[in-house]
Amino acid sequence: MAPHHVLKCCQRSLAWIPVIFINLVVGWSYYAYVVELCIFTIPNNAEKISYLVVFHLFFIMFIWSYWKTICSRPASPSKEFCLAKVEKEQYEKEQPDAQQNILKKAAVGLPVYTRTGTGAVRYCDHCQVIKPDRCHHCSTCDMCVLKMDHHCPWVNNCVGFSNYKFFVLFLAYSMLYCVFIAATVLQYFIKFWTNQLPDTHAKFHVLFLFFVAAMFFISILSLFSYHLWLVGKNRTTIEAFRAPVFRNGPDKNGFSLGFSRNVVEVFGDQKKYWMFPIYTSFSEFTHKLVHM
């Protein structure tokens, strides 16, 4: 038991390395932009102030949404989806066919409409719960996660029902953060490259800042576009690769409510809160699925 416990602790510690890496890059980008570019390189005060104001706006929204994604605990199935003690004991003694009969009876009063590929009621033996629709077990988080999209190593967390809005906003603001840096640094990047500015220690930071911002922007753009498509279709990454199976068979559009309602499913009913990484009211449809 002791070696297994130590191994688990090591795995949990190592899982934070991508998060630490991202924060180190962001910390350096802040120093390089604010100190090396704005304070030491840009001579025009009006330009300097305008750059700093917009930069800090994107920076705050980016960090806010990023840490909200990290710190939001994944939502797990409520106790209504757990088998009663008697049912659980009986389930453990029976053969697969009899086990399915027990699960079917237990699932009668639950809002469960999806099935396994063979038409069986979805059940997690590890968590010992009947899986709600769109719920999947994450081996990394060691729990069943509602509306699981994927486990993201860059936030060391599962992206799902509780933080998908924050994740999409994190991608959006990180992309805006990178494109703003690249666009405003470009003219000074060219001046340093063509030796129009003095060769100081700021040169390295400005040149490297442009390359890093442009590289991250290109990589994030494709991921952000993909998740915007998923939001419009009301699908998760898992469902995009494997269509959910209902009682009448697989249906890749089984959860789609139309584009506008699909967006509301993720961002909430009040548009004034869409751009902020805060909890917002979910649509009536989602409310029923979670609380029935």
The reported pLDDT for the residue numbered 291 is 36
Phi and psi angles of residue 198, each rounded to the nearest 5 degrees, phi first? -60, 145
**Which residues 6+ apart lie within 8 Å of 189 measured at CB?**
206, 207, 210
Catalytic residue annotation: 152
Q: How many CB atoms lie within 10 A of CB 69?
A: 25
**DSSP run (H or E) holding 115:** strand 114-115
Query: What is the structure's pLDDT at 17?
Result: 95
Q: Which 3 state secondary structure label does DSSP give 151?
A: strand
Choose among 209, 161, 283: nearest CA to 38: 209
Nearest to 52 by CA among 74, 81, 30: 30
Phi, psi of 123 (to 5 degrees): -135, 135
Cα 216 to Cα 75: distance, rounded to the nearest angstrom? 30
Nearest one of 285, 248, 244 to 268, comparing CA atoms? 285
Residues lower than pLDDT 70 in the chain: 1-4, 281-292
pLDDT at 292: 34
Residue found under tokens 């994107």: 58
Q: Cα-flanking dihedrals φ and ψ of residue 187, to 5°?
A: -65, -35
**Among the listed residues 97, 81, 95, the one whose alpha carbon sits nearest the alpha carbon of residue 131:** 81
Consecutive H or E run containing 157 = strand 157-159
Alpha carbon of 164 to those of 64, 137, 172, 239, 281: distances in Å?
A: 14, 17, 12, 15, 14
Nearest-angstrom CA–CA distance, 291 and 160: 17
Count of C-beta atoms within a 10 Å radius of residue 78: 13
Q: Is the dihedral of CA 263, 264, 270, 276 positive or negative?
A: negative
